[in-house]
Amino acid sequence: MGRFRDALAGPGVTAIAEVKRRSPSAGDLRPDAHPAELAASFAGAGAAAVSILVDERFAGSIDDLRAARQATEIPLLGKGFFRRVEDLEALRAAGADAVLLLLRDLDDREARALMDAARHLGLDSLVEAHDADELRRAVKLGADPIGINARDLTSFEIDLRTQLELVAGAPRDRVVVAESGISNRAQVLRAELAGADTILVGSTLMRAPEPAVALRHLVSRPVVKVCGLTREEDVAAAADAGADLAGFILARESPRRAPGVLPVPETMLSVAVLVGELEPADADLVQLYGRVDGHRSRDGVVFHRGEQVASVVDLPWQERDPTHLERARRASGRVVLAGRLGPENVGEAVEAVRPWAVDAASQLESAPGVKDHERVRAFVRAARC
């Protein structure tokens, strides 16, 4: 595999930031976009790779690829509608590291021939599917990476639900890219938890006042969870502050027991917090603790659609432990750091542990189950600094 594919396979969810001046479905996005400036700024913001539209229907050209290559060393994807080996040769000569191949436009013989040609030229192939049949074809062709596009290129309609189902069904030994339709952090989280290694995002960045800042916001970690929510007004305050996860404790012994999983806006995911047994819950995620001496166990696990996706490193019930951060630092996989976190100490904890997510409840309250909105805002700000 080439350096494009290897860059996407980095730890955590990675991003391909796209440079495009216009879209056939949305019209002008950023007509004055400078590929060199954007590519360099995206690299500085943490992009794993940059996608350059070279098709005139997107107001792009091969010169845009050349300009981006002169401005950055990170991998570049040449994006367009390619059917000829000569197209691939031109991309490689202009500095591309990878080419997009659309199975919508290619039969298996054509796709295999272009993949072989790309390999001979030193290009990776991002083979794109948008339905179950095309995903099956991509897998059979040995494609790696595989792109799953949420946009139907005929109707231009976005279907994120079907995209996530396809992502979840893709082989785990391939790099999977969730393409199109991503506009907020919650959608990035959904793609990541479904199994995507990478997101490709273009229109959202091109519409942003500062595209590199928008990219950094979409993929930065840690994820921020405000837990112990019992009131709709507190959910709204957490969402307004920029929290990613809304936690609802359903354990009977908790003074922060919620009446149920309350509605959350599309910018957040809901988390049902259980103690004892894993039970069905109307939530995006389930956070489960064991039960010890009538209370929750020290640590827990997070499930998504019945599959464990993260571990929770917490403090003992109503106790402290000076080794807490060291324990969390040694943990592997996605780590949710919890345990008396608040605005005053979360920054230090993030710096020490580098967790996937941080989780706070009691330190953000004016009373059990009642959130102090200013402390919620301060916590989210401190976690992201």
Which residues does the annotation mark as catalytic?
A: 18, 20, 79, 128, 149, 179-180
Cβ atoms of 74 and 38 within 8 Å: the answer is no
Tokens linked to 5: 């594919």
CA 358/CA 379 separation, integer angstroms: 10
DSSP three-state, residue 343: coil
Angle CA(166)–CA(168)–CA(173) in degrees, nearest 5?
Answer: 105
CA 204/CA 157 separation, integer angstroms: 16
Q: Which of 162, 172, 160, 144 is nearest to 309 (CA)?
A: 172
Tokens linked to 187: 């959608």
Backbone angles phi and psi of 249, in degrees to 5: -80, 125
Q: Which of 138, 158, 140 is nearest to 149 (CA)?
A: 158
- Angle, helices 373-384/232-241, rounded to nearest 10 degrees: 30
CA 58/CA 255 separation, integer angstroms: 55
CA 143/CA 151 separation, integer angstroms: 20
**Dihedral sign computed on CA atoms, order 348, 349, 350, 353:** positive
Q: Which of 319, 312, 240 is nearest to 273 (CA)?
A: 312
DSSP three-state, residue 308: strand
